[in-house]
Structure 1
Amino acid sequence: MGLFDLPAPLFNSLDAAMAGFMPAALRLAIWAVLGSVLTMFLYKLCSPQARIGQAKRDAKAARQRLNAFDGDFADAGPLIKKQFTTAFRHVGLVVPGTLLAILPLLALLLWAETHYGHTLPAPGEAPTITTVPEGVATHWDDRTQPAKLSVGDAGAPIAQFDMTAPVGIVTKQPWWHWLAENPLGYLPEDAPVEQIRIDLPVLEVIPFGPAWMHSWLFVFIPVMFIVSLAIYKWAKIE
């Protein structure tokens, strides 16, 4: 289990509890609100708000002095230097807290993509499967649950995967797998196949409108943006 996968059991439990009386779109809206609240207040807690506020004022004052300067360009050097110095100081104070605050949000986004991004095909319907390089045989078997994906000759497959999650890609184990693991597993390092792509159906969170509206992102991103902006203004976060 990767670092960002650690909260997944908690997310699964809470989502399953809400699923009994809430549609998927409403659950996603709640997740977006929770993600926004946690991220914004964690950023406020982890960042030096007073110093950031002073850095913003210093950067604004430096810009105003440069804009008001009416002399030769050669004499503007100290003002330009001051503007860049204050701007970089502001960024340097903001970045560490931002990086810490987005870690839980990344875990939530990765879980949501796995949980709400796609769905497995209905029984009797096999998805389109491609390999990189092309031409390697694959076999989809849904006579048992979960369905099984085999790669290579049926008699001696290169690899087999139980489709325990609606994940549309399988690769060899990357160096960053300790951050987020593929729940299906990985191809053997000596396999002649680098990647398997499974064309899974998109989970339609919103069952109406054009196809681009059906994705979970159409609910999650707007709600998260609006709530984050509201918290930023209400909590006076620098």
Structure 2
Amino acid sequence: MGLLNLPDPIFGAIDGGMESFLPATVRLIVWATIAGIGTLFLYRLVSPQSRIGNAKREARAARQRLNEFDGEFSDAGPLIRNQFLSAFKHLGLVFLPTLVSILPLLALLTWLESYYAHAMPADGATPTVQVTPDTYDAQWVQQNDAPHVIVNDSDSELANVAMTAPIPVIEQRQWWNWLAANPLGYLSAESGIERIVFDLPEPEYLPFGPGWMRHWLAVFFPIMTIVSLITYRWAKIE
């Protein structure tokens, strides 16, 4: 499990509870609303709001003094320096709180991509499976009442992966998986298999527009942006 996957059980439990009475599109709207409000209020909680407010006013005053300066450019050095110092002071105050507040959002986006970007095939449907190298044979089969992907060479079974989540690819473990893990696990280096790709169906969350507009991101990000702007103004966050 990667760092961003730690909240996955919580996300799964909440989504599972909503699934009984809300369709997927409405659940995405709920998640976007939670993300927009939660991220802003977490930022407000962990950031020094009064100091940030003072820094913004100082930066605004320094910029105004520079704009009103009507002398020689060589004499504007102190004003330019003050503007840069006040701007960097503001940046320094908001950088760490922004980083902290965005981590839960990244975790949520990682989980949503894993469970909303693709879906498991309908009962009886068999998706196309591609394996690298293509000298191996890959099959999608039902095993123990659950779909499995089995990869064989001419002599033996090299991999048997239980499809417990709608993830369209399995690879060997990469260095970045400490941050975001694959829910299906990884291929062992000893197997000789580099990558398995599945042609899983992509759900559509809007009944109109081109294909890209029906993706979960096209629902999530506009709603989150609108909610974030409303929260920012209503809560008077610096």
TM-score (norm 1): 0.90
SS at match of 1:30: helix
Moved more, 2-11 or 25-34: 2-11
Residue 108 of structure 1 corresponds to which residue in structure 2? 108
CA separation in 2, counterparts of 1:32 and 1:109?
10
Count matched residues.
Answer: 238
Q: Show the counterpart of 2:218.
A: 218
1:117 and 2:109 are equivalent in the alignment: no
- 1:13-162 aligned within 5 A: 13-132=13-132, 135-142=135-142, 145-153=145-153, 155-162=155-162
Pick closer, same or farther for the CA change 1:142–1:204 going to 2, 3 Å: farther
Q: Offset at 1:7?
A: 1.9
Indicate the SS of the match to 1:219: helix
Q: Distance in 2 between matches of 1:49 and 1:12?
A: 33
Distance 1:178 1:73 in 2: 51
Q: Give the CA deviation at 1:34.
A: 1.2
Amino acid at match of 1:98: T
CA deviation map 1:90-140 (0-9, x unaligned): 111111111111111112111111121101222443333334555543222
Q: Retained in 2: the 8 A contact 1:132–1:196? A: yes
Give runs of aligned pairs for residues 222-233 of structure 1, distance below 5 A.
Answer: 222-233=222-233
Counterpart secondary structure, 2:146: coil
How far apart are residue 87 of structure 1 and its match?
1.1
Q: Could you say what secondary structure the match of 1:205 adopts? A: coil
Q: Name the CA shift for 1:62/1:131 in 2 (closer, same or farther; >3 Å).
A: farther
CA distance in 2, matches of 1:94, 1:218: 28
- Which sits farther off after the overlay, 166-175 or 119-128? 119-128
Whether the aligned pair in 2 keeps the contact of 1:123 and 1:142 (CA below 8 Å) is no
**Alignment identity in percent?**
52
- Offset from partner CA, 1:135-165 (integer Å, 9 cap, x none): 5432222465421112342642332211110
Which has the higher mean CA deviation after the structures are superposed, 146-155 or 125-134? 125-134
Query: What is the CA–CA distance in structure 2 between the aligned matches of 1:70 and 1:89, rounded to whole Å?
Result: 26
The range that moved more, 120-129 or 88-97, is: 120-129
Alignment correspondent of 1:192: 192
Q: 1:125 to 1:52 in 2, by over 3 A?
A: same
* Alpha-carbon distance between aligned partners in 2 of 1:204 and 1:99, rounded to the nearest angstrom: 32
Whether the aligned pair in 2 keeps the contact of 1:124 and 1:142 (CA below 8 Å) is: no
- Tell whether the 8 Å contact from 1:117 to 1:216 is kept in structure 2 after alignment: yes
Distance apart, 1:212 and its partner CA = 1.6
Q: Which moved more, 1:71-80 or 1:190-199?
A: 190-199
Query: What CA deviation, in whole Å up to 9, does each residue of 1:49-85 have, x standing for no partner?
Result: 1111111111111211222222222222222222211
Letter matched to residue 129 of structure 1: V
- With normalisation by structure 2, the TM-score equals 0.90
Q: Give unpaired runs (5+ residues) of structure 2.
A: none
- The amino acid that maps onto 1:89 is K
Question: Residues 127 and 198 of structure 1 are in contact (CA less than 8 Å); yes or no, is this contact kept in structure 2?
Answer: yes
